[in-house]
A and B are shown apart, each in its own frame.
Chain A
Amino acid sequence: MRASKWLADRQFNFLIGVNLLVVIVATWLSHGQFLDIDNLQSMGGQLPELGLLALGIMLSMVSGNGGIDLSGVGLANLSGMVAAMLLPHLVSADDSPALYTAVFVCIVVAMGLIGGFLNGVVIAKLRLTPILCTLGTQLLFTGIAVVLSNGASVRVEYVDPLSNIGNGTFLQVPISLWIFIAAVVLLGWVLKRTPFGLRLYLMGTNPKAAFYAGIPRARMLIVTYGMCGVLASLAGLISATHTSSAKWDYGNSYLLIAILIAVMGGVNPAGGYGRIVCVFLAATVLQFLSSLFNLLGVSQFFGDCAWGFLLLASLAFAGGERVRAIFGIGGATLKTKAPPPPASTGR
Chain B
Amino acid sequence: MKLRKLGTALTAIALAAGAIAAAQAATNETIVTVVKVTGINWFNRMDDGVKEFGKANPNINVYQTGPGRADAAQQLKIIEDLIAKKVTAIAVVPYDPPTLEPALKKAMDRGIKVVTHEADNAKNTMVDIEAFDNTAYGAGLNERLAKCMSQQGKWAVLVGSLGSRSQVQWADGGIGNAKAKYPKMDLVEPKLETNNDGERAYQVAKEVLRKHPDLTGFQGSSSLDVIGIGRAVEEAGKVGKICVYGTGLPTEAGKFLESGAINGIAFWDPKLAGIAMNKVAQMLVDGKTVENGADLGITGYNKVTVSKGPGKGVIVRGTGWVDVDKTNYKQYPF
Contacts and interface: CB of A to CB of B under 8 A. Distances in A.
B106 interface: yes
Interface string A139-155: 00000000000110101
Contact of B32 (A49, A150, A297, A309): A297
Contacts of A29: 14, 17-18, 21
A112 to B, nearest CB: 18
A55 B65 CA distance: 30
A255 to B, nearest CB: 11
B101 A317 contact: no
A7 interface: no
Interface string A270-314: 000000000000000000001111111111110110100100010
Interface string B1-23: 01000100110011001101100
A46 interface: yes
A218 B6 CA distance: 44
Given A41-B84, A49-B73, A250-B73, A245 B65 contact: no
B163 to A, nearest CB: 7
A250 B25 CA distance: 34
A153 B96 contact: yes
B312 interface: no
A253 interface: yes
B14 A25 contact: yes
Interface in B48-89: 63, 65-74, 76-78, 80-86
A304 B20 contact: no
Given A243-B101, A291-B81, A297-B24, A313 B13 contact: no
A92 interface: no
B333 interface: no
B38 A300 contact: yes
A30 B32 CA distance: 17
A244 interface: yes
Interface residues of B, number: 45
Please report whether the interface of chain A is mostly helix, strand, loop or mixed according to DSSP: helix
A295 B63 CA distance: 12
Given A155-B98, A167-B102, A290-B77, A247 B84 contact: no
A85 to B, nearest CB: 14
A213 interface: no
A242 B9 contact: no
A294 B20 contact: no
A153 B21 contact: no
B80 A296 contact: no
Interface in A188-220: none
B99 interface: yes
For B9, B83, B85, B101, the residue with the greatest tally of chain A CB atoms inside 10 Å of its CB is B85
B76 A243 contact: yes
Contacts of B66: 300
A239 interface: yes
B102 A303 contact: no
A245 B73 contact: no
Interface stretch (A32-40, A64-72, A118-126): A32-40
Contacts of B71: 249-254
Contacts of B103: 243
B39 interface: yes
A330 B333 CA distance: 50
Interface in A147-186: 150-151, 153, 155, 163, 166-167
A21 interface: yes
Given A239-B73, A253-B74, A298-B17, A46 B80 contact: yes
Contact of A42 (B67, B72, B73, B84): B84
A229 interface: no
A155 B97 CA distance: 11
A313 B10 CA distance: 11
Nearest to A37: B84
B38 A301 contact: yes
B72 A297 contact: no
Contact of B73 (A166, A254, A301): A254
A1 B39 CA distance: 49
Given A45-B80, A244-B98, A294 B68 contact: no
A137 to B, nearest CB: 20
A42 B81 contact: yes
A299 B106 CA distance: 24
Smallest CB-CB A-B distances: 3 pairs? A294-B81, A42-B84, A39-B84
Interface of A: 21, 25, 28-31, 33, 36, 38-39, 41-43, 45-46, 49, 150-151, 153, 155, 163, 166-167, 239, 242-245, 247, 249-254, 290-301, 303-304, 306, 309, 313, 316-317
20 contacts: A29-B17, A33-B85, A39-B81, A151-B163, A243-B103, A244-B101, A245-B101, A247-B72, A250-B99, A253-B71, A254-B71, A254-B73, A290-B77, A296-B17, A297-B20, A300-B67, A301-B38, A301-B39, A309-B9, A313-B9
Given A243-B102, A294-B85, A317-B2, 8 more contacts: A31-B25, A151-B163, A239-B73, A243-B101, A247-B99, A249-B72, A296-B17, A300-B65
